[in-house]
A and B are shown apart, each in its own frame.
Chain A
Amino acid sequence: MMLRGGFPLDAKADLNYAVYGSAISTVHNNLESDRNFGGRVGVFLPGSRLELGTSWQKLLQDTRTNSFGFYFAWQPQRLPLNMHGEYARSNQGSGYWVDGAYRLSQVTYWQRVMRRLEFAARAEQFFSGETSSDEAEAIGLPGASTREGEFGLNYYLHDGVKAVASYGRQFSSDGNSNLWTVGITYRFLLPLGRVGPR
């Protein structure tokens, strides 16, 4: 069960929040969950288009551990730049990631192509926690402390269709590796009702 919403703190800041509690579920098909309680609170400054927030979760079973995190999102008014970052910590490990995407719409030549092109870069680091490497990998975490840097290009074929290509390098005590990604992402809005004037 989750309660979430937002309200203005004053003319220059909005506060958004989420509070939730989850019962234990052993139903398969992605419906498994632990018993936990947590929340998130963020402050959004519309003038500078900056959001800062923090989150917390308490596991109400087994190890009864706490986990917490901080995040930010920033889209400056004058630049087509989109920045996000997060730091999180629990007994399973800690880590951070920062990514940025710069739309080349301000480049004055090849406008037809450049306004659809976006340069993206990402850096992340994970520090292993108390769990063994096998346990960590079973829940989707790296088996050892890991560093990773990645950069790529996104090309917006249409507002909802984006071609992506990126290269990254991962450094880990388990071995270093290259990460190549090529793909197309599609986001759509499908009206279930009749579309037309009412």
Chain B
Amino acid sequence: MKLELIVAGAALALISALCIAADSPHSSPTIPVAQNSVQADAMRLEGEKRFHANCGRCHAAPQKFPPRMIATIVRHMRVRATITDEDMRLVLFYMTQ
């Protein structure tokens, strides 16, 4: 029984380490930068679409918060809602730009 628990714990630790290592360049959610206004509009539209597809399943858009606070909230919500990294970045762009 102890062996099973140790193996399970070790497997979880290994998977966590691999995921953290793979994710490390993006560990802090920074607001994506658009190269021009056309790209910004496209990203905003896509971000809105991702917001409605993911976040809108449970709640409406929250009240206005400063970008830094939104970045923290989105980071937490990514864990709660298990959304993808790409979705998180586009939603963050939509919420802050």
Q: Which residues of A contact B (CB under 8 A)?
A: 1, 3-8, 14, 16-21, 23, 35, 37, 42, 44, 46, 49, 60-61, 73, 75, 82, 159, 187, 189, 191, 193, 195-198
Contacts and interface: CB of A to CB of B under 8 A. Distances in A.
Nearest to A197: B66
Nearest to A82: B57
A35 B60 CA distance: 37
B79 A4 contact: yes
A43 B63 CA distance: 30
The 8 closest A-B pairs by CB, nearest first: A16-B82, A6-B82, A46-B53, A21-B8, A159-B60, A37-B8, A198-B66, A6-B84
Contact of B5 (A35, A75, A198): A35
Interface of B: 1, 4-5, 8-9, 12, 15-16, 19, 50, 53-54, 57, 59-60, 62-63, 65-69, 73, 78-79, 82-87
B65 A21 contact: no
B57 A1 contact: no
A77 to B, nearest CB: 9
A198 B67 contact: yes
14 contacts: A1-B12, A14-B84, A16-B82, A20-B12, A21-B5, A21-B8, A35-B5, A42-B82, A44-B54, A49-B53, A60-B5, A82-B57, A159-B59, A159-B60
Contacts of B4: 37, 60
A42 B83 CA distance: 11
A60 B59 CA distance: 37
Given A19-B12, A35-B5, A46-B54, A14 B69 contact: no
B38 to A, nearest CB: 21
**Residue among B4, B84, B87 having the largest count of chain A Cβ atoms under 10 Å:** B84
Given A49-B53, A196-B66, A3 B82 contact: no
Nearest to A16: B82
Contact of A7 (B66, B68, B84): B84
Contacts of B83: 6, 14, 16
A52 to B, nearest CB: 14
A8 B9 contact: no
Given A8-B86, A23-B5, A189-B73, 8 more contacts: A4-B79, A5-B79, A6-B82, A16-B82, A17-B82, A73-B57, A82-B57, A159-B59
